Amino acid sequence: MSITSFYPVLQVEDPPGVARFFTRHLGFRVTFAADWYISLRNGPHELALVSGTHETIPEGFRGSCRGILLNVEVDDAATEYSRLHETGLPMRLELRDEAFGQRHFIVEAPEGILVDVIEEIQPAPEYAASFTP
């Protein structure tokens, strides 16, 4: 298989509302918009949103996504934490350093979508060997 692109498509109740979060707070821009489907892009990174009730979703699979965690890697998690915290967005995990090599926080986007904003940091010795070159 020769893959030319790969990106998540989240089933949501309100694609325009969720898209506003990603454009306003994470710098995505809309590349296609219909009332039921929106494509977003930030540089090489893509994300799409589809109405969970649209007929293109097979019956039995329609609905909104639950339990989704989107990772967004940045150069400076502390700066992004301050910026997003000032907007009043719901922080679900405060900024912290993890022994496995991350400085991160989790913010809640509309419809319960969690966005984990991550800066890679030096892992503790017990995790260093877990990384492959």
Q: What is the 3-state secondary structure (H, E, C) of 82-130?
A: HHHHHCCCCEEEEEEEECCCEEEEEEECHHHCEEEEEEECCCCHHHHCC
pLDDT band at 85 (very low <50, low <70, confident <90, very high): very high
Q: Does residue 132 have a pLDDT over 90?
A: no
pLDDT of residue 9: 97
pLDDT (average), residues 90-103? 97
Give the chain's domains with CATH numbers: 7-62 (3.30.720.120), 66-133 (3.30.720.110)
pLDDT (average), residues 26-30? 98
**One-letter amino acid identity for 34?**
A
Q: Could you tell me the pTM of the whole model? A: 0.92
Alpha-carbon dihedral sign for residues 40, 46, 50, 55: positive
Tens-place pLDDT, residues 60-79? 999 999 899 999 999 999 99
pLDDT of residue 104: 98
Q: What percent of the chain has pLDDT over 90?
A: 93
CB-based contact 133:109 (threshold 8 Å): no
Q: Does residue 131 have a pLDDT over 90?
A: no
Judging by DSSP bridges, how do beta strands 69-73 and 29-33 pair with one another? Answer: unpaired
